[in-house]
Structures are given as structure tokens and as C-alpha cells.
Structure 1
Amino acid sequence: MATIYDVSVLAGVSLATVSRVMNKNAKVSEKTAQKVQDAMKQLGYRPNAIAQSLASNRSNSVGILVSELHGPFYGSMMSGIEAELRTAEKHVIIAAGHSEEALEKEGIEFLISRRCDALILHVEAVSDEYLVELVKGDIPIVLINRYIAEIADHCISLNNELGGYYATKALLEKGHRQFAYISGPSWKMDAQERLKGHQRALKEFNVSYNDALTYEGDYQETSGSQGTSYLLEQSRPFTALVCANDEMALGAMTVLREKGIRVPDDISLMGFDNIFFSQFIHPKLSTVDYPIKQMGKMAACWTLKHTFNQAEHDITHIFTPSVVIRDSTQAV
């Protein structure tokens, strides 16, 4: 098996020069770099990433922990992170926490054991106290879709309360006064904040919040279907249905169609997230834009700045949502 010494002999350069070429050091001329690369190719030499990591104390990899590996929301987030890091010639190692405390902690420990230079965490079950202590360690850590005041400079988050407010206000401004709501899981902070925003908008327009027309979902399409069936069984009229994410809104739309209820003629439907399929279903879904891909890129930029000293990045810590009105809502 060829070694770095064999490469230096064949290329006629020093070991230090071969090392500089492998590390893409700008101090090596293009001609010399090409000689080294040709020698590596001729010998079939592959740099030992583990040895390089031990020597430089850098693995050039970033650990990402997400709640799930499926679905357009997480796909967009991971795509944004990976694209930004790949441009900077860093690689990612991904683990899933499945919104369970033990699994999230296990995933974090796994990523640390893989000698990741930094961690980007989308975690929901571990406590704020655990994360505050984790940030005090040696590995740079940034949280995405989570805000903790004590470590605010390590957080990239969305103003979910404002998003919930915007979603309902948009329908109130169209004249709706009878609302039903399908929330996310009550233990999740983003679901709590979106519901608070919904209630704030109702209060601002002097519309009573009806607990009987509220259903707690789990952010999955099936709970949108189940929730809509439940709400219709209450025999309480409503002209607007607000769902705390687009996947539940899709489930809601399916049930409404099956029961012969027209969207938006009979019921206006609002989602949250603006995931890619929301503009392709019929009718096209009105929703709140959650710029999760941009937030993923921002988390990567934070990592590049605080871990790899690429200080040219300006960091946005809190993103502002916006309403996207399409065909699933109309005035009454």
C-alpha cells in the first residue's frame, strides 16, 4: 500500500509539500500541486482521514441531529445545511433523535464520539438545562428551531408565535369569525407558540377562542385527517380551519373532499411551513412560510464562523415568518 513517503519520492517534493497539497494549502504552486496529484493517482494513494484528523485535531465533519430523516421539512433543512458546508469542503454525519430524550442524548454522544468538529442540533425532547450545559463543552454547538434565552447566540429559530398570529389574522381579515384549529403536540414549544399566536389574533378581532373546536394533532398527515373528522362531528359551524403544519392540512383537505365539503367555498384552509407540495396540491394551499432551508444554511454559516474561523458570515438568529395566500382560502 502506497504511503505519503512514496508520493513525495515519485513527485520529487518534500513530505511537507505533499501534506500542503492534501490540505489544499494556497502556498503550493499549481504546477507542484499537479505533480503531487499525478503521483497520488499513479500510486493509487488515498489520504487516511482518521490519521489526518488525529494530526490536525480536525475531522472537517459536522454532526447533525434531527428529529426524523423523512419528510419535506427535514429534507429541506438538511439540504440547506449540507449545501453550505459542502461549499466550504466540510462533510456531515447525520443521526436521528425521534423526539425522544434518550435517543436524542444517544445521538449527541454518537456524533461526539465520531470526532465531529461541531454539532447542529434539531432536538425537542432534551431539556433546556441539558443543552445549556452541553454548550459549555469543547465542541461548538448550534440549535436549530429552538430558542433558549441563556444561550440565545447559539440558537437559530423562527418566531412561531408571530407565524400563528399571521395565519389566523389573514383569515380574520377575509371576514372569517368561526374558526377550528388543529394544533401540533402540546408538549412541543413550536406548537405552543403557534397556538398562542392563533389565540392572540382572535382576541385582537374580538373573536372568542372555542376550545371545543380545537384538536391536538402530532404534525403527521393522519392526525390532520383524524382531527378534521373529529371537528366535523362536533356539529359546531366553522368557516375557517387553521392547521399548525402543512402535512396536517393535507390530511384535513383529504377528509373535507371525501365528505363533499368544498375548499375554499365551504371552508377556508390554512397551513404552516410552506413545504414544497403545498403549491402543487388542489386547491393550492395557503400557508405560513417557514424558511427552514435558509435556517439550515444559517446554522451551517454559524458553524463555519465559530468552528472554522470563516468570519465573513453575518448570522441571523431569529427568522420572521410570512403568509403565502393561495387558492385554499377566500373571503366570506
Structure 2
Amino acid sequence: MASIKDVAELAGVSRATVSRVLNETGQIKAATRERVHNAMKKLNYRPNPLARSLATSSSNTVGLVVTSYRGSFFSELMAVVQEEMDQQGKFLLISRGKRSRESEVHAIQRLTDMRCDGLILHARNLYDEELIELAQQETPFVILDRTVEGLEDRCIDFQHEAAGQLAVNHLIEHGHRKIACLAGPRERLTARLRFKGYEQALREHHIEVDETLVAEADYDREGGYRAMADILEKHPDITAVYSCSEEMAVGAFDLFRERNMTVPGDISLVSFDSVSVCTILTPSVTTVHFPIKEMAEQASAALSGLMKGQPLPVLPTFKPELRTRESVRRLNQGK
């Protein structure tokens, strides 16, 4: 196995020069840098990451906190951040915050204990005050899908309430009045905002908000199935459903198939989406798009700038986009 001494001899430079090239420190002529890189390639030399981190006071790692490792949303989030970090030559460490404040605290602590250079936090349960306190420490971080007052310059958020309103307005505009809601756990801020959009759309059209048309689930397929069954047990005459997650929409589809109900013939459906699940259902489902891919890319770029000591630009709040497909039927007048 080649050593730094072998690289130096082949390139005709000192070991100190090779070290400066590897660690991108000091002033090195372009021709010298090229000779060192050519020598490394010829010898198949790979620098020791531990030694490099000691020399640069950098672990060359980035930490990502997610709620879960399962589901299309988190798969997409982790894949996008991994791809971005690969391009930046960074190692990615992922820690699961599960579904509690205590677990998120421990997840962040694990990553800071491993001396991550920066963090991307999809933290749903930490108090704002805890994130503000964390910002006083050395490790830079970016917050995904949440805005914390006082930390707006490192938050990348999405207009969940407006998205919910857009989805339900679409159903109302197609003549639906008895609209069910597959809601997320309303102790979570984003779930409350998605439900608030549902309420707001109904009230603006003078439609009563009936809590018996609402059932909560944990954003998963099984929960969507159970929640849909619960609503249909009470209200078999509903004409439309607004699902606050694509996984729950799939669960609702499972139930419809069991009961030989057709979409949109018997019931119309609009869902949130973040990946491509709703496009592969038959029929394809009209959605309000939650752009987790673009948000994760933005978070990775923002964190890269923070780690380099660059001032952050104003980070975006992403707006919802309605993607109309085949799952909504227009009712006749008077229905």
C-alpha cells in the first residue's frame, strides 16, 4: 500500500507539500498540485481519513437527523442528502430522532459527539428554545421543513397550510361538499397546518367542519387504511377525501379495492405527495406537491456554505403546486 512518502518521491516534492495538497492549505502552484494528484492516481494512494481530520480539525462528515428510516418521504430525503454530500466529498452519518423530543435530543448528541462538521435537522419535536440554544454552539446546522423565530436564516420551510387549502379548494371547485380528511397526528406542527388548510377551505365556502369526517393516522399505509375505514363506517355517503400524506392515500386505495369502490367513480381523492407514489396508482392521484427533493438540495447547499463560514442568503419558503391527474370527478350541479 502506497504511503505519503511514496507519493512525495514520485511527484518530486516534500511530504509537507503533499500534505498541503491533500488538506488544501497553503499556496501551491497549479503544476505542483497536478504532479501530486497524478502521483496519487498512479500509486492508487488513498489518504487516511483519520489523519486528514486531525490535520484539518475537520471530520469531513455531515450529520442528518430524520424521524424514521422507513417510508418514501424519508427514503427520498436521505438519498438526496447522500448524493449532495457525495458530490462535496463528505461522509454522511444519519441518526434517527424517532417520534419524541428526547430521541431527537439524543440523535443530535450522537452526531455532535462524532464531531460532525455540520448538521441537517428534520426535527419535529424539539422546542424552539432548544434549537436556539443549539445555535450558540460551534456546529453549524440547517433546519428542514420548519421555521424557528430567531433562526429564520437557517430554516427551509414549506407552506403546509396553503397546500391543504389548495387541495380542498380543488375538490370543492369540482362540486364536492362532504369531504373527509385523513389527517396526521395533530401534536405535530406540520400535521396541524395541513389540517388547518382543510378547515380554512371549508369555512371559506361556508361548509361546516365536521370532526367525524376526520380521522388521524401516523402518515403510514396501515394508518391510512384504518382511518379511511373509520370514516366510511360513520359516513358511507362521502364523495371525496383529502389525504395529508401519500402513504395514507395508498392505504385508502387498499380499502377502496377491498370494497370494490372506484376512484373517482365512487369517491374522489386528493393527496399530499413528496415522491412519485401517487403517479403509479391506478388511476393516478391528483396531489399538492411537497418538494422534499428540492428542499433537501437547498439544505445541503446552505449547510455547505455555513461550514465554509460563508454568510447565508435568504433561504426560501417553498410554495405548494397542484398536480392534477385522474382521481377527481366533477359532480353534477346540486349534488
Superposition TM-score tier, normalisation by shorter sequence: over 0.9
Contact 2:120 2:144 in 1 (8 A): yes
Cα distance in 1 for residues equivalent to 2:264 and 2:297: 35
Cα distance in 2 for residues equivalent to 1:301 and 1:38: 30
Please, what TM-score do these two structures have when normalized by structure 2?
A: 0.91
Identity %: 36
Please, what TM-score do these two structures have when normalized by structure 1?
A: 0.92
Cα distance in 2 for residues equivalent to 1:43 and 1:82: 28
Cα deviation 1:37-85 (Å, max 9, x = unaligned):
4544666643221222122122222111111122221122223223333
- Whether 1:158 and 2:158 are equivalent positions in the alignment is yes
Cα distance in 2 for residues equivalent to 1:43 and 1:256: 62
- Whether 1:80 and 2:80 are equivalent positions in the alignment is yes
Cα deviation 1:225-279 (Å, max 9, x = unaligned):
0011111110452111111111101100110121122110111011112421211
Q: Secondary structure at the match of 2:202?
A: helix
Q: Secondary structure at the match of 2:273?
A: coil
Counterpart in the other structure of 1:326: 325
Contact 1:301 1:315 in 2 (8 A): no
Residue correspondences, number = 331
Cα distance in 1 for residues equivalent to 2:43 and 2:88: 28
- Whether 1:176 and 2:176 are equivalent positions in the alignment is yes
- Whether 1:100 and 2:100 are equivalent positions in the alignment is yes
Cα distance in 2 for residues equivalent to 1:255 and 1:294: 32
Q: Secondary structure at the match of 1:316?
A: coil
Contact 1:80 1:295 in 2 (8 A): no
Counterpart in the other structure of 1:14: 14
Cα distance in 2 for residues equivalent to 1:38 and 1:154: 39
Cα deviation 1:296-315 (Å, max 9, x = unaligned):
0110111111112466x855
Deviation of 1:160 (Å): 0.6
Deviation of 1:141 (Å): 1.2
Counterpart in the other structure of 1:139: 139
Q: What are the within-5 Å matches in structure 2 for residues 164-313 of structure 1?
A: 164-235=164-235, 237-309=237-309
Counterpart in the other structure of 2:63: 63
Contact 1:78 1:293 in 2 (8 A): no
Query: Higher mean Cα deviation, 316-325 or 213-222?
Result: 316-325
Cα distance in 2 for residues equivalent to 1:119 and 1:190: 21
Contact 1:143 1:154 in 2 (8 A): yes
Show structure 2 runs of 5+ residues with no match.
none
Contact 1:245 1:271 in 2 (8 A): yes
Cα distance in 1 for residues equivalent to 2:268 and 2:67: 30
Q: Secondary structure at the match of 1:150?
A: coil
Q: Secondary structure at the match of 2:157?
A: strand
Cα deviation 1:160-199 (Å, max 9, x = unaligned):
1111111101111111111111100111111000000110
- Whether 1:49 and 2:49 are equivalent positions in the alignment is yes
Q: Secondary structure at the match of 2:82?
A: helix
- Counterpart residue type for residue 76 of structure 1: E
Cα distance in 1 for residues equivalent to 2:35 and 2:49: 21
Query: Higher mean Cα deviation, 313-322 or 226-235?
Result: 313-322
Contact 1:147 1:157 in 2 (8 A): yes
Contact 1:286 1:328 in 2 (8 A): yes
Query: Higher mean Cα deviation, 238-247 or 15-24?
Result: 15-24
Cα distance in 1 for residues equivalent to 2:211 and 2:236: 11
Counterpart in the other structure of 1:317: 316
Contact 1:182 1:244 in 2 (8 A): yes
Show structure 1 runs of 5+ residues with no match.
none
Cα distance in 2 for residues equivalent to 1:44 and 1:293: 35
Contact 1:182 1:243 in 2 (8 A): yes
Cα deviation 1:84-123 (Å, max 9, x = unaligned):
3332333321111112222221211111111111110111
